[in-house]
Amino acid sequence: MLLWVPRALLALLLPMLLAQGEAKHWRPLQAQNSSRPALLRLSEHLMANYEKGVRPVRDWRKPTTVAIDVIIYAILSVDEKNQVLTTYIWYRQYWTDEFLQWNPEDFDNITKLSVPTDNIWVPDILINEFVDVGKSPSIPYVYVGHHGEVQNYKPLQVMTACSLDIYNFPFDVQNCSLTFTSWLHTIQDINISLWRLPEKVKLDKTVFMNQGEWELLGVLTQFREFSLEDSSHYAEMKFYVVIRRRPLFYAVSLLLPSIFLMLMDIVGFYLPPDSGERVSFKITLLLGYSVFLIIVSDTLPATAIGTPLIGVYFVVCMALLVMSLAETIFIVRLVHKQDLQQPVPAWLRHLVLERVAPLLCLGEQPASRRPLVISPATKTDDCTDVGNHCSHLGDPWDLEKTPRGRDSPPPPPREASLAVRGLLQELASIRRFLEKRDESREVAREWLRVGSVLDRLLFRVYLVAVLAYSVTLIALWSIWQYS
């Protein structure tokens, strides 16, 4: 009985002694843990049993929703020939990792932690239009919140394929898409949403570098769910980057020189058509325009599927210059046609001088004043024998009424008749020469009048064609510029 009492006391005191010993043993360990940095303890706590190859959800039926956002920083280049758009963007991703959660009170109230990207699960969201990796800086860290929200911010230099329409160059507007989608996971595993409201994404130009050739009009967004042949559904988010080219440089360097050359060609019509300066002037303009096209050929964008309208404009201007030169050559040839001693045909005289000239407000053209051609037989047949006067000479040719006939003694009858006949033949030949010259001059004047009227007509037709073509292009470019 007495032995049972000490045993009972020992049984009661032994647990108390063991508890005190364990407390003394754990006090140094707790002091050691409290002295370690909270960030280090939190990082070790999160990465202790983390598996980055597993999608971070506790219920595998629940999809991981990734919210994305794009901010355009700069338009680096637009390669029309290769159909490639190079942009610099700020890309942001946001998703919830259910395996990266903690209580901030246990870790010195830490609510956000940066961890290496290579240590955690990252969605495989890529851009479908990628054609080159580019030179994007590497951002090795992401932010993780205590509720498991992961924020992945990184800048990207994106080189994407884009269908560029250069028909309206240099007043063109391009619409290129950036399509973000998971390359492997279906919508049951990874769903994509928009981080911000579409209106805020569209009008966000806060960081855009607006001093380049291209102006950012806006960024449109569109979510789409599509399926492939195996009936797997995928989610994608499209960002439509709408940009517009600033046309001032191209208008000054391309359009103005062409307009000046065309104006000089129009002014060249005021040179006389019967001179050779107009032909040489227009040939010089044509050669100058050819050199101009060679210089600007490298400036114009070129694709295999189309030609810009400004290229068609240059070709048409070249054709108009050729037509102007051909018209000038035709008029010069027409004006110098009198060298062949061919009079103007009656139908041409009636059509040009009597019909076309009044329509052009040139007034009624003077009628032709051709001298009457008298044959030599008519001029000499009236001369009779000695002493008789030629009946066709009339009173002014009467030798007896001349002063010399009154003052000098009359010559012998036969010698006088021979002298008068020779004199009359000389006068007749002079008269025929003068009439021939007057007739040639009249033919030349008539051809000159016909050429002048046709020159005015073709000039006005050419001017109307140039103005109509220019007004049409200006109207089209104005509509495209402000549409």
Angle at 29 between CA 28 and CA 31, to 5 degrees: 65
- Kindly give the residue spans of alpha helices, DSSP state H, lying in 350-412: 357-359, 376-381, 403-407
Bin 137: left if φ > 0, else alpha if -120 < ψ < 50, else beta: beta
Q: Is the pTM of this model over 0.85?
A: no
Residue with tokens 């089209």: 476
Which run of H or E residues covers position 41?
helix 38-47
85-95: burial string, b at 16+ Cβ within 10 Å, e else: bbbbbebbbbb
DSSP-derived 3-state class of residue 305: coil
Pairing of strands 64-79, 190-194: parallel
Cα 427 to Cα 183: distance, rounded to the nearest angstrom: 110
Tokens matching residue 391: 């009946």
| Helical spans, DSSP H, in 35-78 | 38-47
Dihedral in degrees, nearest 10, Cα atoms 316, 322, 324, 329:
-170
Token digits of residue 145: 């919140």
Give the distance, in angstroms, between the CA of residue 99 and the centroid of all CA atoms in the same chain: 54
Whether the ω angle into residue 170 lies within 30 degrees of 0, i.e. cis, is yes
- How far apart CA 89 and CA 243 sit, in angstroms, is 14
Residue type, 175: N
Closest among 84, 119, 85, 80 to 99, alpha carbons compared: 119
Closest CA to 162 of 85, 245, 215: 85
DSSP SS3 for 172: coil
Rounded Cα distance between 352 and 446, Å, is: 11
For residue 233, list its beta bridge partners: 227
- Tokens matching residue 238: 């499209």
- Cα 230 to Cα 227: distance, rounded to the nearest angstrom: 8
How far apart CA 87 and CA 85 sit, in angstroms, is 6
List, run by run, the mean pLDDT of 10-residue segments along the chain (483 residues).
53 56 45 70 91 92 96 93 92 95 92 94 93 83 95 94 89 93 92 95 91 92 87 92 92 89 90 82 93 88 78 90 90 70 70 68 54 43 42 43 50 72 85 78 74 82 87 79 64
- Gap between the Cα atoms of 228 and 430, Å rounded: 104
Buried b / exposed e along 245-278 (16+ C-beta atoms within 10 A): bebeebeeebbeebeebbeebeebbebebbeeeb
- Please tell me the predicted confidence (pLDDT) of residue 218: 94
Q: State the Cα torsion 274-275-278-284 to the nearest 10°.
A: 140
The full set of domains in the chain, from first to last, is 38-245 (2.70.170.10), 246-361+426-482 (1.20.58)
Spatial distance between the Cα atoms of 194 and 25, rounded to a whole number of angstroms: 54
**pLDDT given at position 18:** 52
pLDDT at 15: 59
> Which residue in the block uniquely carries the two structure tokens 């010559």?
411
Q: Is residue 120 within 8 Å of residue 50, measured between CB atoms?
A: yes
Say how far residue 237 (Cα) sits from the centre of its chain: 30
